[in-house]
């Protein structure tokens, strides 16, 4: 493995991670009335929070009786897939052990096609970007502790392989596109083009490489982490799955690297080694992840998520730099 991390840690242009947020007050009156009745107090204020890709409500709220909580809500528009994700998040979060560093689910309500979740409010902040070394170490340490706590998985969930399935066949799709018309993938990095067949072959075994018994978050990024004075809280659990406990670190790596920061690649590699992750398995999963991001970046954006593809493209570029270093294919 090459030890040159300069190119890996160089930042790439990063688009804003944002869905089409809605204000709490845009939720239909009947749905809001039902939620407030279940809470036992009306919502007095709700401040929309930036960041993340959910095309719905994400707001820190204060009730008339003084309680504070975090509200998430989504309806059938603009993205019909998101309500199912909120249902999954409610089921997963409710089953996590009390000692898990996860905001407690207070309420889950469905009405008129809407799904509304209420969580305990957390006084914290997301990690600084570009990543600071000390904060990245905190998050990596928290990931290791969470992986140990949630192994074996305390709730039934799909495996990582089942969850991502054919999505992690990006290199195969890109290779097939090249076979039909080389011009279709001329945007790819020259190294990727030279090794396209090799990359497609390597990703074929990613499901075996990621197998395990731990419940992983499945979407760990800076915008899904809150740093408090003494804890690292992990939020947004709809993509949770069962697999290798180190998967979250590989999965979050490209989002870390695309922001730049000193020695981030070295920190990620050292952490994975300390956790006993097999280097070949890590590289195989990273290969599949890189192909996924690059292929997805060429697709039309989902409804309500206008910046998702550009964000995936930036992660794909960063992942490719990391992958080149780990494969050392020249």
Condensed to tens digits (0 to 9), the pLDDT of residues 231-279 reads 999 999 999 999 999 999 999 999 999 987 768 999 999 999 999 999 9
**How many CA within 13 A on the CB side of residue 76?**
4
Options 3.30.565.60, 3.90.1200.10, 3.90.1150.10, 3.90.79.10; which CATH number does 125-327 get? Answer: 3.90.1200.10
- Kindly report, residue by residue over 13-60, the tens digit of the pLDDT: 566 555 567 899 999 999 999 999 999 999 999 999 876 667 789 999
Split at pLDDT 50, 70, 90, the class of 80 is: confident
Angstrom distance (rounded) from CA 257 to CA 12: 9
Res 64 pLDDT > 70: yes
Both tokens of residue 297?
A: 């970046």
What is the widest separation between alpha-carbon atoms in the chain? 64
Find all residues with CB under 8 Å of 134, minimum gap 6, and list them. none
Please check whether residue 178 is in contact with residue 185, taking contact to mean a CB–CB distance below 8 angstroms: yes
> Which pLDDT score is estimated for 260?
77
> Which pLDDT score is estimated for 33?
98
> Which pLDDT score is estimated for 2?
41
In order of 39, 184, 233, the CA distances from 107 in angstroms are 8, 48, 19
In order of 77, 123, 153, 184, 246, the CA distances from 213 in angstroms are 35, 32, 6, 39, 11
Query: Domain 24-120, what architecture?
Result: 2-Layer Sandwich (3.30)
Angstrom distance (rounded) from CA 202 to CA 32: 50
Q: What is the mean pLDDT of residues 158-174?
A: 96
Q: What is the mean pLDDT of residues 152-159?
A: 97
Angstrom distance (rounded) from CA 179 to CA 177: 5
Phi, psi dihedral angles at 307 (to 5 degrees): -100, 0
- Listed by start position, the domains of the chain span 24-120, 125-327
């Amino acid at each position: 493995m090459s030890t040159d991390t300069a190119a890996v840690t160089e930042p790439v242009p990063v688009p804003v991670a944002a869905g089409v947020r809605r204000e709490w007050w845009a939720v239909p009156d009947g749905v809001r009335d039902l939620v407030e009745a279940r809470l036992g107090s009306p919502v007095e204020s709700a401040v929309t929070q930036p960041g993340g890709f959910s095309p719905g409500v994400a707001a820190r709220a204060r009730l008339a009786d003084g309680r504070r909580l975090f509200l998430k809500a989504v309806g059938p528009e603009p993205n019909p897939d998101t309500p199912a994700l909120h249902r999954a998040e409610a089921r997963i979060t409710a089953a996590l052990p009390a000692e898990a560093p996860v905001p407690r689910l207070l309420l889950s309500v469905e009405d008129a096609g809407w799904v509304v979740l209420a969580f305990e409010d957390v006084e914290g902040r997301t990690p600084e970007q570009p990543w600071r070394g000390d904060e990245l170490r905190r998050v990596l340490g928290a990931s290791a502790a969470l992986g140990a706590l949630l192994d074996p998985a305390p709730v039934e969930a799909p495996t990582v392989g089942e969850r991502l399935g054919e999505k992690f066949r990006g290199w195969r799709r890109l290779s097939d596109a090249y076979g039909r018309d080389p011009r279709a993938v001329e945007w790819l990095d020259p190294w990727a083009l030279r090794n396209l067949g090799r990359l497609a072959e390597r990703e074929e075994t990613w499901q075996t490489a990621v197998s395990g018994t731990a419940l992983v978050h499945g979407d760990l990024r800076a915008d899904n982490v809150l740093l408090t004075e003494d804890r690292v809280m992990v939020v947004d659990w709809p993509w949770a799955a069962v697999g290798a406990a180190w998967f979250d670190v590989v999965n979050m790596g490209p989002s870390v690297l695309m922001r730049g920061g000193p020695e981030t690649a070295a920190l990620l590699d050292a952490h994975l080694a300390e956790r006993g992750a097999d280097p070949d398995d890590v590289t195989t999963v990273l290969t599949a992840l890189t192909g996924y991001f690059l292929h997805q970046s060429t697709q039309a954006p989902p409804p309500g998520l206008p910046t998702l593809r550009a964000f995936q493209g930036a992660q794909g570029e960063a992942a490719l730099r990391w992958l080149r270093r780990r494969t050392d294919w020249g």
